[in-house]
Amino acid sequence: MRILEVNKFNYPSGGAEKYFLSLTAALKDAGHETAIFCMADKRNEGSHWQKYFVSHIDFYSRNLLTKLKTPGRIIYSREAKRKFAHLLDDFKPDIIHLHNIYHQISPSILPEAKKRGVPVVMHLHDYKLACPNYRLFVNNKICTACLDKKTYQPCIRKNCYGSFSRSYLAYLEMLIHHDYLHIYEKNIDLLIAPSEFIKNIMIKAGWPSDKIIVLYNPAPLTQELNQKEEKYFLYFGRLTKEKGVADLIGAIKKTDAHLKIAGDGPQVAELKILAAPEIKTGKIEFLGQLAGAKLTAVIKNAQAIVFPSRWPENMPLALLESLAQGKIVITSRVGGLPEIIKDKDNGFLFAPGEIDELTQKIKMIEALKPKDREPIKIRALETAQKLNPQKHLSDILKIYLKLVKKSE
């Protein structure tokens, strides 16, 4: 099969990119002809297809010319449309699989696929097709205003991007793409939802249920349980307000537990001030950004992993990576997370933002005897084993084949 995978970044900047890169590699290993379409970037992995990539743009640049180009690039990129058309004509794919194309690429590419009769499937890595700021989260609260009222004006009123100009541009983007052009709805044949939660969000946003299929993300290949864990809890990931790390620090302060925090982000300075007394005593340790073997080791040796998210996480790879190492996980009862974690069975759940309940769960894990910890760790590992990468690849290929046959 000739498969075209599309994502704005061709380097592992986040969970969506890691999924895109691993799926593309798996498809190649399985013998399929695979091309990619992305944005040019010095951080990209090398690719035979980079001559087709859309030019680089940095939306955070202060350059006046870049700022003037931004609205056009976000709403409708003629360059992306032209280069994508060339790639389609040269590669002639049987199927197109979209990941994150917003802003850097834009949906201007979609009619080109429709024109050539190539079926298109899109992976829902976030809520952008329903929510202007893609997170269902604003002012430190879950927000579904744009779903409930079938309008995108709350994005301006609530200043969802923390900047009036950016919030207004996001409003225009949604208005033009969904209310005027219906460019996603007309040109996408199927949505892949990594959780039942995001499927229900999309249905509430007006997508028909028969155009959405739920397929959980795969967990990494499982490893042996570590019998020599150290006495610390671990958070790893982005340090942003919606991740709830401040809540975790507040809970740790009420226990005898130690905490390690691996990651970086805009909230790092604020979190270090919050944890300053505990940093001095060694109770809380900031490890900075870790990757590869260093991150694997710090996960492997933790007695438990905590994901205290305040926003409705979809299906984060960090959670699946933790389960694949048989780790006890504490996570918020929000988004797609409780579809994977069952309280006091293969992990622990608490209400998002409820520091006292999180404190209770941390103390509960600290008090567990080895004979009580082991069954939870085994069930965590079993959960990961059910999300096998090979089965996931097989399910993806079945989706592709069904759409290709339907288009013939």
Give per-residue pLDDT as tens, 38-97: 999 999 999 999 999 999 998 766 675 666 578 888 999 999 999 999 999 999 999 999
Same fold, 2-128+180-218+389-407 and 233-386: yes
Lookup: tokens for 241: 């307000």
Which tens digit of pLDDT belongs to each residue from 183-223?
A: 999 999 999 999 999 999 999 999 999 999 999 999 998 77
For 166, 179, 254, the CA distances from 247, given in Å and listed in that order, are: 28, 38, 11
In angstroms, the CA 255 to CA 249 distance is 10
Average confidence score pLDDT of the chain: 95
pLDDT above 60 (res 167): yes
Q: Given this model, what pLDDT does residue 67 score?
A: 61
Q: Given this model, what pLDDT does residue 103 score?
A: 92
Architecture of the domain whose range is 233-386 = 3-Layer(aba) Sandwich (3.40)
In angstroms, the CA 208 to CA 252 distance is 44
Nearest to 131 by CA among 98, 99, 160: 160
Sorted by where each begins, the domain ranges of the chain are 2-128+180-218+389-407, 233-386
Q: List the beta bridge partners of residue 236.
A: 262
Q: Given this model, what pLDDT does residue 225 score?
A: 81
Homologous superfamily, domain 2-128+180-218+389-407: Glycogen Phosphorylase B; (3.40.50.2000)
In angstroms, the CA 217 to CA 387 distance is 7
